[in-house]
Structure 1
């Protein structure tokens, strides 16, 4: 599961025709479809939020030269007066397996009205690369050196955890911001070997690592990792095949748990 911010998400699917050299480690990733139940974890003191519940569906398809992903998210927040606000988002990407290019589209709604659209494509180079947006407006934004795309970030984080590394600090571009890349700091826990898994036996033979990823808005001259409070944080357990469970999403005033309810590993068509 890539590291998309679920409250900022949309729908897009693209096809790549040129063959690419895959990033080492990409062979372990699998296409899959996972459904998550979302429930309120905690609220900050003096927050007006009384309840939060929803669902998320994540799908990644192995398109041979790249990964086509779609994430649909719905969350209803109820305040202490009983007023409900529903937010939905639909987010899709196509990322080549060499981690060098991505197409993305995102649509977010609040109470049934579109509140945000982001779309475009990005090309990444060791020197940084750039993003060409078509929505919310046509513009081009430079990417900082060493920027990673989301699936490649997952692969690198898993490799770092397996190697005993405890931090991964890099800029990340996932197409959920109209302002280019964000800085990220990933805190990695020790690699875990295979464990019994009665609910999802296909995961039992696999190693995994728990990690917490913080996203920071970039400022001119900033270094990856950020110096202020994160804009968004997610904690999760990644299995070596890219499946994620035990999600905890931090949105500032409140946090939400994501429990995986269904998992289907998709056949490899390549």
Structure 2
């Protein structure tokens, strides 16, 4: 979620391996479309948020030969403590090659059907380093840390760390947030693997044969602003918790902003067929 929402992209941390070759984990990522219903899970007395309902639609499609395209849309109705409400609509799309050398993104935010901001750009990794070329809201170049990972790489690294039995790791992530200028410091806490359906689980849509034998891990990722950390602040901008399957599907979402938190429950899951690599 980005801004007031989830980012799975992931959703989505760990010591990077060398760019330039697709990992075995990336080849195993499953193209799919998932829908999550969102609701307010908690709030403190400091929060101006009185209630939240919404829906998140996430689509991930691609292969190591054609690259990976992600479509993400989050529509929420936010109600403040005075009872006034507004509808926000966040739409993002991105493309990433399997080698982690190229990342294109487009992000648009709407309030009551009026677009309030838009960002578009691309990032490229070369032997000389990584740089983002921003087209909107204004043309500019942004130098990126050489170790920064793009979202699909990030998700694959996270799965690799879980498979290796790691319980903690961290990495820098670039996903085009905040007009294409933000690089996050992220830290992940990884739980023990889970197999089979959870007893009393609300997400019955995920209890299907295609996932029955696929491992998943509970994870919590904290997202930090490097600029604030340099000033001695070590409080995350937000925390994202979820269960991540070995094939890249996520369930049981929670996004915690401190003063309030949202829960997301998977209500639809569709697997998408893609053309196999030649």
TM-score by length of 1: 0.87
Structure 1 position 126, deviation (Å): 7.0
* 1:25-65 Cα deviation digits (max 9, x unpaired): 11110100000000000012232322100001000111532
* Aligned residues of 1:142 and 1:180 also touching (Cα < 8 A): no
Structure 1 position 139, deviation (Å): 0.6
Pairing 1:5–2:6 present: no
Structure 1 position 154, deviation (Å): 0.6
Equivalent residue runs for 1:34-183 within 5 Å: 34-63=34-63, 64-125=65-126, 128-178=129-179, 179-183=181-185
SS at the partner of 1:152? Answer: helix
Gaps of 5+ in 1: 10-19
SS at the partner of 1:219? Answer: helix
* Aligned residues of 1:125 and 1:146 also touching (Cα < 8 A): no
Over 3 Å counting, the alpha-carbon distance change for 1:106 and 1:190 in structure 2 is: same
Pairing 1:244–2:250 present: yes
Pairing 1:28–2:25 present: no
Q: In 2, Cα distance between the equivalents of 1:6 and 1:233?
A: 12
* Aligned residues of 1:121 and 1:132 also touching (Cα < 8 A): yes
Q: In 2, Cα distance between the equivalents of 1:71 and 1:83?
A: 27
* Aligned residues of 1:49 and 1:80 also touching (Cα < 8 A): yes
> 1:13 matched to which residue of 2?
none
TM-score by length of 2: 0.84
Over 3 Å counting, the alpha-carbon distance change for 1:189 and 1:227 in structure 2 is: farther
SS at the partner of 1:61? Answer: strand
Over 3 Å counting, the alpha-carbon distance change for 1:126 and 1:23 in structure 2 is: farther
Q: In 1, Cα distance between the equivalents of 2:157 and 2:45?
A: 36
> 2:236 matched to which residue of 1?
230
Over 3 Å counting, the alpha-carbon distance change for 1:252 and 1:127 in structure 2 is: farther
Count of aligned pairs: 254
Structure 1 position 227, deviation (Å): 4.7
* Aligned residues of 1:8 and 1:108 also touching (Cα < 8 A): no
SS at the partner of 2:92? Answer: strand
Greater alpha carbon shift after TM alignment, 94-103 vs 116-125: 116-125
Q: CA RMSD in A?
A: 2.3
Over 3 Å counting, the alpha-carbon distance change for 1:255 and 1:125 in structure 2 is: farther
Gaps of 5+ in 2: 7-19, 199-203
